[in-house]
Structure 1
Amino acid sequence: MPMVTVSISPQQAAGIRAAVDNGGYASSSEVVREALRLWDSTRKLNEFRDDVLDDEGVPSGGRCVADMFADHEAERRRSA
């Protein structure tokens, strides 16, 4: 697995340590990987919203939101 060095605040480091110490995660790497998965999911959800909703939050292109979500999920599975 590639190694990446990042700088985080003391509060973030303490939060990671606490998550491991409390038994929620086995290692700090697991905490960071989970955070990155959540970030990636949020980013993709925002892209999805940008693709399917207009500025007022109304589905664009006259398509049903469920159909657009199904298309998005199918694309996600293809690229996974």
Structure 2
Amino acid sequence: MPMVTVSISPLQAAGIRAAVDTGTYASSSEVVREALRMWDAARKRGEICDVPHAVNDPDGAVKSSRCVSDMFADYEAETHRHN
């Protein structure tokens, strides 16, 4: 599997560690892969920001969509509602 190095915030790192420590995920790689699957699915549904289109659409003809951070906030809220 290809390896990619990314920088994340301390809060994001703590969230990943917590997900692994609680047994929700087996590894930090599993957390990131799940996040990327969620991002890809939301992107394909048109639910997240498409910054290049927004920049190239000064008149706002392209429907505004939500940002990745909005999607993950919704996911976290939903997870906490069921726990």
TM-score in terms of structure 1 length:
0.58
> What is the Cα-based RMSD across aligned positions, in Å?
1.7
How far 1:44 moved relative to its partner?
Answer: 0.1
- Which has the greater radius of gyration? 1
- Mapped partners of 1:22, 1:41: distance in 2: 26
2:14 matches 1:6 = no
Measured against aligned partners, the alpha-carbon deviations of 1:13-49 in whole angstroms (never above 9, x if no partner) come to 00000000000000000000000000000000008xx
SS in 1 for 2:11: helix
Query: TM-score w.r.t. structure 2 length?
Result: 0.56
* Structure 2: stretches of 5+ with no match in the other structure: 48-61, 64-83
Letter in 1 for 2:38: L
Identity %, equivalent residues: 80
**Residue correspondences, number:** 49
Structure 1 stretches lacking a partner, 5+ long: 48-53, 56-80
- Give the ranges of 4+ consecutive aligned residues of structure 1 lying more than 6 Å apart after TM superposition: none
Secondary structure at 2:46 match in 1: helix
